[in-house]
Amino acid sequence: MLQIAGGVCAPRGFLAGAAMAEIKKADKYDVGLIVSEVEAVAAGVFTTNRVKAAPVIHSKKVVEGGLAKGIVINSGNANACTGERGISDCLAMAREAAAVLGTGEDRVAVASTGVIGVEMPMDKVLPGVQKAGKALSSQGGHELALAMMTTDTFAKETAAEISLSGQKVRIGGVAKGSGMIHPNMATMLCFITTDARIDARLLQEALREAADESFNMITVDGDTSTNDTLLILANGMAGNSPLQAGSDDYGKFKAALSRVCRELAQMIARDGEGATKFLEIEVGGAGSLEDARRAARGIAGSSLTKAAFYGEDANWGRIICALGYSIEGFDPGLVDIFLGELQVCEAGGGLPFSEEEAKEILSQKDIKVRVELNLGDFRATAWGCDLSHEYVTINGSYRT
């Protein structure tokens, strides 16, 4: 897989544009469009929170239809918990974007992120959609990434190229997320584009698998958002033979899609609100894949463990404690724990280790923890960040 530039505009036939509509308090991009020049196959994965924002409800219907022409996005307002007015405003955004793109509102997905429970300032949003439409360009991916950001500190983009039966196929992606990030569709938005030819059923299958090992394996603060949305559009403009289930080309496509999703997910975890450290938690020797995933997520999501990493304290007891409430059917007396290459626990008990060496490992920006359950052959990795004083500062005044 070859890394390439361009983000969501890297695949053939995709354009993006952004506008400053003054939804946010500062002069920043806050409305964006992603558009396929031809109608595209659509698939999506959405928040499991029972409180779902109006854009999630609408976009799920678009995905159920299997086809889309574009996605309209805004930041600064989540359009969540806004009742019938929120549904009406969401449909107005879809209609406005559809008019710009020359399609129907049922072919335009909508995504919003920002403050919950506040009505959308439609007098700003709709002109912003028009401005974003005028800015559409094959070079507009970066501005679109900026338009999605809330508390993010950097834009999250990636793109890759693979060869499928001699044809070059590209996959591009953009994401936002810093707080309210937790497994089960980790507020997170991600949009992926590809010029591959693939039907809606296979595309949905590939996206779900990719999400399970990427976005559903990150955590920042344990809060699953009302707006989490992962969408992919595939317009077929690469000209490859339609992908078939079980084929080598489909396997290659799934692997590339998962790689793109993991890169974006790791960027989100690295940019966790107030984060000073990026954590990679690998759990091996599990009796099942689900146990490995639950264990890794449990450790990554433990507030006490995250606080210990912020303080650079080699308190491995918090790691094994998190295991104890994350999964069942394991033997604590078999557990081995490593901080980097330094083993601090063997067979469920402490080992004498150099506090100085542990401090050196924990002072790094990127920290890897490896836990061996010694029960089976399954492994999984989760990603997260530490818990700092700055996280409280950011979220203590997010709304005001």
- Tens digits of per-residue pLDDT, 239-258? 999 999 999 999 999 999 99
Bridge-based pairing of strands 278-286 and 366-372 is: parallel
What's the mean pLDDT when you consider all of the chain? 94
Classify 278-396 by CATH class.
alpha beta
pLDDT at 211 over 90: yes
User: How sure is the predictor about 9, in pLDDT bands with cuts at 50, 70 and 90?
Assistant: very high
pLDDT at 44 over 90: yes
The pLDDT of residue 186 is 44
pLDDT at 184 over 50: yes
User: How sure is the predictor about 274, in pLDDT bands with cuts at 50, 70 and 90?
Assistant: confident
Q: Which of 157-166, 189-198, 250-259, 263-272 has the lowest mean pLDDT?
A: 263-272
Q: State what percent of residues in the chain have pLDDT above 70.
A: 96
Q: Read off the pLDDT of residues 125-159 as tens digits, 9 standing for 90 and up.
A: 999 999 999 999 999 999 999 999 988 999 999 99
Q: Which of 45-49, 354-358, 363-367 has the lowest mean pLDDT?
A: 45-49
Averaged pLDDT for residues 23-51: 93
User: How sure is the predictor about 181, in pLDDT bands with cuts at 50, 70 and 90?
Assistant: low
The pLDDT of residue 336 is 98
Bridge-based pairing of strands 336-339 and 342-346 is: antiparallel
pLDDT at 54 over 90: yes
User: How sure is the predictor about 179, in pLDDT bands with cuts at 50, 70 and 90?
Assistant: low
pLDDT at 221 over 70: no
Assess whether 82 carries a catalytic annotation. Answer: no
Instruction: List the chain domain ranges.
Output: 2-270, 278-396
Q: Which residues pair with 273 in a beta bridge?
A: none
**2-270: which CATH number, 1.10.10.10, 3.60.70.12, 3.40.50.12280, 3.40.50.300?**
3.60.70.12
Bridge-based pairing of strands 189-194 and 229-234 is: parallel
The more confident residue out of 263 and 185 is 263
**Annotated catalytic residue within 187, 226, 229, 381:** 187
